[in-house]
């Protein structure tokens, strides 16, 4: 069974631009969560989706948004990029909301210049 | 109260030795405690997990010890190998208040196993 896939793997953007990251969960998984990983703040929860509904949101500004499609694929968007948004963005999938076993993708490395 | 504190920040162990990483939490509603292993350039991989109704769980060379009264849990890697060199994260979560997959992560431990 294929794992979680994330595209693109690497991205370089300029301050003020916006970016969209994509995540395809493991086949059959309907819950997707997003995390931001930085050396300073570690792994921080962004939001989670189940059945196209956002179930939980972390403590991030409104510039960070996401959505989930009917096929469980998910996208996250960051508008008006700031230098501090440079990070590894990780997507994790699980069967359902509240199913504790989560499997992470390889991440998208975003660099903001 | 949502924090998970992890120590040490880094650890050097000789091949064949035991690696021990500790985590502590405050939120008594946490009911699932996974450990993740992350290699450079990769996403975290689920290694082993435990629920608070058991005090120990073993999978191969990896063991989680859980102390509910002390609100602490630890990862033991027996017979540590150079291939175990990675960053290890403890985490915690709870469905209290609604089904969620939100994980609260510790700060990570960089393990180096010397040959």
Per-residue pLDDT of chain A (113 residues; tens, 9 = 90+): 689 999 999 999 999 999 999 999 999 999 999 999 999 899 999 999 999 999 989 999 999 999 999 999 999 999 999 999 999 999 999 987 777 789 999 999 999 99
pLDDT at B1: 62
For B27, counting Cβ atoms within 10 Å of its Cβ (0-12 exposed, 13-18 middle, 19+ buried), the class is middle
To the nearest whole Å, the CA of A22 is away from the closest chain B CA by 15
- CA proximity to B107, closest of B5, B2, B1: B5
What CA–CA distance (Å, rounded) separates A66 from A10?
A: 19
Query: Which of B41, B44, B95 has the CB atom closest to A104's CB atom?
Result: B44
Which of A64, A65, A72, A31 minimizes the C-alpha distance to A48? A31
User: CA B92, CA B75: separation in Å to the nearest integer?
Assistant: 14
Partners of residue A50 in chain B, C-beta under 8 Å: 99
Instruction: Tell whether A66 is within 8 A of chain B (Cβ).
Output: no
Tokens 């469980």 sit on residue:
A72
Q: Would an 8 Å CB–CB cutoff place B5 in contact with chain A?
A: no
Residue A38 tokens read as 């930085």
Contact indicator for B102, A45 with CB cutoff of 8 Å = yes
Is pLDDT of B21 > 90? yes
Q: What is the mean pLDDT of residues B27-41?
A: 93
Residue among B41, B43, B98 minimizing CB distance to A105 = B43
Q: Do B102 and A48 touch (CB under 8 A)?
A: yes
Do residue A56 and residue B102 have CB atoms under 8 angstroms apart? yes
Residue at token pair 């694929």: A73
In tens, the pLDDT along B94-110 reads 877 676 778 999 999 99
Interchain pair A97, B41: CB under 8 A: no
Q: Give B81→chain A minimum CA distance, Å.
A: 23
Task: Give the C-alpha separation, A23 to A29, whole Å.
Answer: 12
List the single residue in A43, A48, A105 with the smallest CB-CB distance to B105.
Answer: A43
- A49 within 8 A of A66, measured Cβ to Cβ: yes
């Amino acid at each position: 069974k294929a794992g979680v896939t994330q595209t693109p793997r690497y991205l370089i953007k300029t301050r003020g631009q916006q970016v969209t990251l994509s995540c395809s969960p493991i086949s059959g998984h309907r819950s997707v969560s997003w995390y931001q990983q930085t050396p300073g703040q570690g792994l921080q929860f962004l939001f989670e989706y189940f059945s196209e509904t956002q179930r939980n949101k972390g403590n991030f500004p409104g510039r960070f948004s996401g959505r989930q499609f009917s096929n469980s694929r998910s996208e996250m968007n960051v508008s008006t990029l700031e230098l501090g948004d440079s990070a590894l963005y990780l997507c994790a999938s699980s069967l359902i909301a509240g199913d504790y076993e989560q499997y992470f993708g390889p991440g998208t490395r975003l660099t903001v210049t | 109260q949502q924090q998970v504190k992890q120590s040490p920040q880094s650890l050097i162990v000789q091949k064949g030795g035991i690696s021990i990483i500790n985590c502590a939490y405050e939120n008594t509603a946490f009911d699932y405690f996974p450990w993740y292993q992350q290699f450079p350039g990769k996403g975290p991989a689920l290694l082993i997990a435990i629920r608070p109704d058991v005090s120990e769980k073993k999978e191969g060379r990896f063991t989680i010890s859980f102390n509910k009264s002390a609100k602490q849990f630890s990862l033991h890697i027996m017979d540590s190998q150079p291939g175990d060199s990675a960053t290890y994260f403890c985490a915690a979560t709870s469905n209290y208040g609604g089904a969620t997959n939100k994980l609260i992560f510790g700060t990570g431990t960089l393990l180096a196993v010397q040959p």
